[in-house]
A and B are shown apart, each in its own frame.
Chain A
Amino acid sequence: MSTTEQVGTSVATYIDDRVGSNRFLGRSLKKVFPDHWSFMLGEIALYSFIIVLLTGVFLTLFYKPSMVEVVYDGSYVPLRGIMMTEAYASTLDISFDVRGGLLIRQMHHWAALLFIAAMAVHMFRVFFTGAFRKPREFNWLIGIALITLGLAAGFTGYSLPDDLLSGTGLQIARGIVQAIPIVGTWVAFLLFDGEFPGTEFISRIYGIHILLVPGLILALITVHLMMVWAQKHTQFPGPGRTNDNVVGYPLMPIYMAKAGGFFFIVFGVTALISGLVTINPIWIFGPYTPDQVSAGSQPDWYIGWLDGALRIFPNIETVLFGYTISWNIFIPSVIVPGIVFTAAALYPFIESWVTGDKRDHNLLDRPRNAPTRTAIGVMAITWYFLLFIGGGNDVIALTFDLSINWLIWFLRIAVFVLPPIAFVVTRRTCIALQRKDREKLLHGYESGRILRLPHGEFIEVHEPLNVKDRAVLESAIEAYRAPLPAPERVDANGVANKRYHLHNLRAKLSHWYYADDIVPPTRAEIEAGQAHVSHEAALEEPLHEHEELDYVNVPFHGGILHEKGAAMTNEEQLRERGGHL
């Protein structure tokens, strides 16, 4: 034992005497995690959050959250002598007069964009593979909360520099708050300490941005990871992988090196991007003043869909008993996101109720084996992208020389028409893939080689599935469920079912959910099918020894034609001809 190891051992003992850490350590170091590229998406989210925290701490050392007006005298010449808030002036100082300040500011911004993007894509992975199912519903809820908090962190951070672009964003936010019926006006006045823009808002959201929101995110991430730890990670179907085990690599040393290394990769790439690509050049936008705006104003990408909803919504406003209800603002900015996040949060519970599936799921679904879920996901993404396009409609119209009015009308209709089309196309595609899988399970791979049998029959030679593919395809058996049966109005004892209508609705939804799924073959059928394929492939076996001979393969494309009255097997034919055809 080396000296270092001796020191390490005594430190471990010292700590263990006080907190009993060795018990945990022993179990944890051998903990197995399954390997898949898509499991790294959540890692990217985690790492980019850590980068945001680190760079954010640096920024707080220089940034001044104050709306007091000062005259800029920093080194960015075009703005010298101009009145601006201390918030904006200190952000300019970070960008021009603190060495490395711009790099850190840009890393903070890039990592924040990456954080939300990684969370979104991670959520797609979890959704499409059914990883949110029992026992992981709580983690799905935490994930939804994290995305919501991520948006809050992003928007407050976007507002802090107090440049013309961020102030415009705040003005819109204020307009949205003011449009909330009954309480909106007062809430807006309380938030901004009076009228817009006031002098307090920046310092108020600063506390929210650097303490409240990141504190909540950190707490929720901790719980999120502890649950992953306790429940063990889900895995994709594969050889040796079951619902009751985890197949992968141990934490020590493989994941220490891989996941630890990946943190440095994400950190390094963020730094490289921030060194090369300018993000949010606030010095170009100028200080905020409520009577100016620049054309082509765009929010950060994650707000784009909400801005899109606000842009394409028709101009409906009602005055009722002397009070104004701005449907044109309230619906797209409050009701729609409210519905979206609520629906996303409830989805695991809705699906489990509709399907009646209360089993534990540690093995992931292949998206094709849950066609309705996959279709719902694609439908939602399609809808999201249409709104996202709406958020950049002016830029798109300008770039592609389209009429903005035409584009808005297209989007107004498309948000209702395209998602259902996406739903149907996705669902049918999944079902077609299921059919193909069934085919493969029963008949193996198509080899593309045609063989004529001694009795004259032509067959296409199929090959048996390899171990990995077979295990993956067989996961369809577990995934398949028949729709719930229609409930009885009266049970066997003649007692009326009081919840008949609810149960009937559920049966109907379940039927809709599962209706067209392809019934996978049974294990016996697969066994028989694969045995048949193996047998068929064996017919071709005699040819294999001649495979290197050109004259066998070239003129007959992999098979030897049988001649009437000639020898029965291919081998015999060859022998009869002395090896020549």
Chain B
Amino acid sequence: MSDLTTRDGAGTPDHGHDFTSEGQDDLARPLFRGPGGLPAADIPHRPRRSDIDPKAARRAERQVASLFILSMVMVVFFVVAYVAIDPYVNIYVPVFGEIGYQNFALGLTFGLGVFCIGAGAIQWAKKLMPDTEVVQERHSLRSTKHEDVEAAEQYERGKEESGFGQYRIIRRTLIAALALFPIPLIVMLRDLWSPKNGGFGPSPVVLLSQTAWVEGMPIVTDGTYVKIRPEDIPVGGLVSALPEDIERIQKEEHNLNARGKAAIILVRMEPDEIRAQQGEGWDFQGILAYSKICTHVGCPIALYEHRTHHLLCPCHQSTFDLADAGNVIFGPAARRMPQLPIGVDEEGFLVARAPFAEPVGPSFWERG
């Protein structure tokens, strides 16, 4: 009792129920309708070589088995490669360049091992399994009228018995209670950010507006943390720098938050090249200090073209003119790079003369 209708037109249309269409009224449908309305028997079916030539069928059988054997061989090779190859040796593979020898061998053997199983299965299906298409009828998933009525009746019965429509106060209080019950779950998210020492710490606005820079804070190089003298920076040069305190703060706070705000760049140009600054005399002999954190979305910037004094953000290409008060000349950033007023201490090292006058980094709602 096959429910499949073969292309030869034998058999009957599929009247079997699908598990989703149980109880569907099975209308006897004409087998073919619509644009494809041609008798299936008219479609020529070309037999494959393996259908008519027993030799070809044997060959296909051997091919499939060979692929499965190859897969097994690859698994053996994989284990050998895992055990025998030194993981720290690189090899050169044409086109792909220098790659890890073991990684290459493991990928190749595992990949081929898996691939061959798939290739064998598909070759089997294509060469040896039947290639005549079969026809199955669709059934609408729509419920029958009877079922519609049944559902409505059951709903009405339930409504009636519970008195959901009748007890107005129960209904309303239930809805209100259901609306309120998620509140604790949301309230508890508050401590996703909580000052560890208890109580409420400074507000986000205060934190975002402060950096480690204070009056007299020595400027040190990023990486080596040594103090900088003005003569260390040549004209046209750029130095990434941090406040001297940064190491101490990082040790105390166990995070990189202070570094993320306090990073600056120092650039030096001829004093007469400086067209404008954010404050009168905030440079020191042509050395300017700007925040390193982009005012767009906060990438650190260090692409500096010393001839034009342009600073370009590598993330979104905002461009700032450091000779013109750090103003935006191109790109998506809306605000200038904040400038840090600098000078030298009595020993001749560069220091900050004051904190940043405005919050550094990306904007935020309360920034103003």
Interface residues of A (CB under 8 A from B): 23-24, 27-28, 30-32, 35, 67, 69, 75, 96-97, 99-100, 102-103, 106, 135, 168, 171-172, 174-176, 178-186, 188-199, 229-232, 237-250, 253-254, 257-258, 260-278, 289-297, 307, 310-317, 319, 322-326, 328-329, 360, 362-363, 393-394, 404-405, 408, 467-468, 470-471, 474-478
B interface bracket (residues with beta carbon within 8 Å of A): 35 or more
| Chain A residues with CB below 8 A from B363, complex form | 178-179, 317, 324, 326, 329
Partner of A238, one of B29, B36, B254: B36
Tell whether, in the assembled complex, residue B129 and residue A257 are in contact, meaning their CB atoms are under 8 Å apart: yes
**Complex CA–CA separation, A277 to B194 (angstroms):** 44
Tell whether, in the assembled complex, residue B110 and residue A269 are in contact, meaning their CB atoms are under 8 Å apart: no
Tell whether, in the assembled complex, residue A242 and residue B34 are in contact, meaning their CB atoms are under 8 Å apart: yes
A interface footprint on B21-36 (CB within 8 Å = 1, 0 otherwise): 1000000010111111
Tell whether, in the assembled complex, residue A27 and residue B16 are in contact, meaning their CB atoms are under 8 Å apart: yes
User: Which of A135, A253, A291 has most chain B Cβ within 10 Å?
Assistant: A291
A315-B334, A475-B35 given; A195·B260 CB < 8 A: yes
Q: Is residue B88 contacting chain A, with contact meaning CB distance below 8 A?
A: yes
| Chain B residues with CB below 8 A from A199, complex form | 254-255
Tell whether, in the assembled complex, residue A190 and residue B122 are in contact, meaning their CB atoms are under 8 Å apart: no
Tell whether, in the assembled complex, residue A324 and residue B103 are in contact, meaning their CB atoms are under 8 Å apart: no
Tell whether, in the assembled complex, residue B364 and residue A103 are in contact, meaning their CB atoms are under 8 Å apart: no
**Complex CA–CA separation, A482 to B265 (angstroms):** 67
Beyond A197-B256, A276-B104, list 18 extra A-B contacts (CB 8 Å): A30-B136, A168-B299, A193-B193, A196-B298, A239-B40, A253-B129, A257-B122, A260-B121, A264-B114, A268-B113, A272-B107, A290-B293, A293-B302, A293-B314, A311-B332, A324-B367, A329-B363, A467-B44
Q: Is residue B60 contacting chain A, with contact meaning CB distance below 8 A?
A: no
CB-contacts of B122-144 with A (<8 A): 122, 124-126, 129-131, 133-138, 140-141
A318 to B: closest C-beta gap in Å:
9
**Complex CA–CA separation, A394 to B361 (angstroms):** 22
Tell whether, in the assembled complex, residue B4 and residue A250 are in contact, meaning their CB atoms are under 8 Å apart: yes
> Which residue of chain B lies nearest to A69 when distances are taken between CB atoms in the complex?
B254
A50 to B: closest C-beta gap in Å:
12
Sample of 22 A–B contacts (CB below 8 Å): A135-B141, A168-B299, A179-B362, A185-B365, A230-B20, A239-B43, A242-B33, A242-B35, A245-B138, A249-B133, A254-B129, A261-B118, A266-B118, A289-B256, A290-B293, A291-B300, A311-B316, A324-B367, A329-B296, A467-B43, A475-B36, A476-B35
A182-B365, A242-B35, A265-B119 given; A27·B17 CB < 8 A: yes
Q: Is residue B112 contacting chain A, with contact meaning CB distance below 8 A?
A: yes
Tell whether, in the assembled complex, residue A291 and residue B242 are in contact, meaning their CB atoms are under 8 Å apart: yes
Tell whether, in the assembled complex, residue A27 and residue B19 are in contact, meaning their CB atoms are under 8 Å apart: yes
A245-B137, A261-B122, A322-B368 given; A471·B260 CB < 8 A: no
Tell whether, in the assembled complex, residue A32 and residue B135 are in contact, meaning their CB atoms are under 8 Å apart: yes
4 tightest A-B CB contacts, nearest first:
A275-B107, A268-B115, A175-B297, A264-B118
